[in-house]
């Protein structure tokens, strides 16, 4: 088991290295550069050349890549070319907003999707199962911004229960923070709930067809015990994978939710960096998203290995 886990970790590090090459190469082929964006339309060739020399944009790409990669390894994310501020400081002020939104949505959507998936699997073919299937299919088909706008219209504009803006302050009390974050958290939860619930349902139902499950049912074991103690542990591998994919989406794919509700998060910072051609900022944000995606998938692989006796105790 440990050999398999170490192999997965090595593959993850290699994937992260390849991601860094792709990210750096992609930013290199972006049209224009930050020097042109700073100087604007009235720039002269002499001023443009001097600013590029000052910013180090004239150095070979391979040299800049290894300098950037070495800084990333040491925790130095560089300096913003547009604002002259350390990129780490800019990210730190925004990351908590994105992580808070993702963690709250995960705390709601993951347990709820598992519970609904197991409930639907225990009543496969019944009214509850069909109702949940149609509801989750509708949630998958409807885009996030539409869900967010509907929630905002009903609960913020008409009923005035919650705030349409997700701005929070340190001096806000619990109820004020709750009113500000309820709608974006609900929108993000609806966006990922359906995928995880449907995967849980299909994985557990697939396990039900196994001979040992049929034997256990013939022995008279209660269906709830069959599901929780026998079906769910053997269905964890695909469930953990889809949970990891959705959790990584909560961190890196929340740009629509952050835009609709005005959340000053990390994805909006990335969009601002692209607008300003701020290469160090773009690279740092992209590497953070890539690292989160790889880390969560590695965690799902390790947990799947630990949950599978055939991998824990190989012959």
- In whole angstroms, what is the distance from residue 84 CA to residue 78 CA? 10
pLDDT tens digits, one per residue of 46-62? 777 777 777 677 777 78
Q: Kindly report the backbone phi and psi dihedral angles of residue 123, in degrees, each rounded to the nearest multiple of 5, phi listed first.
A: -120, 40
- In whole angstroms, what is the distance from residue 57 CA to residue 72 CA? 18
Predicted confidence at residue 25, as pLDDT, reads 85
Which residues are CB-neighbours of 37 under 8 A, at least 6 positions away?
A: 82, 276, 277
pLDDT tens digits, one per residue of 117-127? 888 887 777 88
Taking 80 as the threshold, does the pLDDT of residue 133 lie above it?
yes
CATH topology of domain 94-312: MetI-like fold (1.10.3720)
pLDDT tens digits, one per residue of 260-281? 887 788 888 888 888 777 788 8
pLDDT tens digits, one per residue of 207-243? 777 787 778 777 777 777 777 777 777 777 778 888 8
- In whole angstroms, what is the distance from residue 109 CA to residue 242 CA? 12
Token pair recorded at residue 306: 């630990």
- In whole angstroms, what is the distance from residue 235 CA to residue 222 CA? 18
What percent of the chain shows pLDDT beyond 90?
A: 0
pLDDT band of residue 77 (cuts 50, 70, 90) is confident
Predicted confidence at residue 33, as pLDDT, reads 63
Report CA torsion sign: 53, 58, 62, 63: negative
Check if the beta carbon of residue 71 is closer than 8 Å to that of residue 78. yes
Predicted confidence at residue 263, as pLDDT, reads 79
Q: Inter-axis angle of helices 174-208 and 236-252, to 10 degrees?
A: 150
Taking 80 as the threshold, does the pLDDT of residue 194 lie above it?
yes
Taking 60 as the threshold, does the pLDDT of residue 315 lie above it?
no
Predicted confidence at residue 285, as pLDDT, reads 87
pLDDT band of residue 308 (cuts 50, 70, 90) is low
The closest of 192, 174, 194, 171 to 182, measured between CA atoms, is 174
């Amino acid at each position: 088991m440990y050999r398999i886990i170490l192999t997965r970790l090595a593959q993850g590090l290699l994937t992260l290295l390849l991601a860094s090459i792709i990210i750096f190469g992609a930013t290199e082929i972006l049209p224009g550069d930050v020097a042109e964006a700073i100087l604007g339309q009235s720039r002269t060739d002499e001023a443009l050349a001097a600013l590029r020399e000052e910013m180090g944009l004239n150095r070979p790409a391979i040299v800049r890549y290894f300098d950037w990669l070495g800084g990333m390894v040491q925790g130095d994310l560089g300096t913003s070319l547009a604002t002259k501020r350390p990129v780490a400081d800019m990210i730190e002020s925004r990351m908590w907003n994105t992580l808070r939104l993702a963690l709250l949505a995960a705390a709601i959507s993951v347990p709820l999707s598992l519970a609904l998936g197991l409930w639907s699997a225990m009543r496969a073919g019944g009214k509850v199962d069909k109702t949940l299937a149609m509801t989750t299919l509708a949630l998958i088909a409807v885009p996030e911004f539409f869900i967010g706008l509907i929630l905002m219209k009903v609960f913020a504009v008409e009923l005035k229960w919650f705030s349409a803006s997700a701005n929070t302050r340190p001096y806000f009390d619990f109820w004020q923070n709750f009113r500000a974050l309820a709608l974006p958290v609900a929108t993000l939860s609806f966006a990922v709930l359906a995928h995880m619930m449907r995967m849980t349902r299909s994985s557990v139902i697939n396990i039900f067809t196994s001979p040992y499950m049929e034997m256990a049912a013939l022995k008279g074991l209660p269906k709830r015990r069959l599901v929780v103690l026998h079906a769910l542990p053997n269905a964890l591998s695909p469930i953990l994978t889809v949970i990891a994919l959705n959790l990584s989406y909560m961190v890196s794919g929340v740009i629509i939710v952050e835009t609709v509700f005005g959340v000053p998060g990390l994805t909006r910072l990335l969009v601002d960096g692209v607008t300003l051609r701020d290469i160090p900022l773009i690279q740092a944000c992209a590497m953070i998203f890539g690292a989160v995606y790889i880390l969560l998938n590695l965690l799902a692989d390790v947990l799947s290995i630990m949950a599978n006796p055939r991998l824990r105790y190989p012959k």
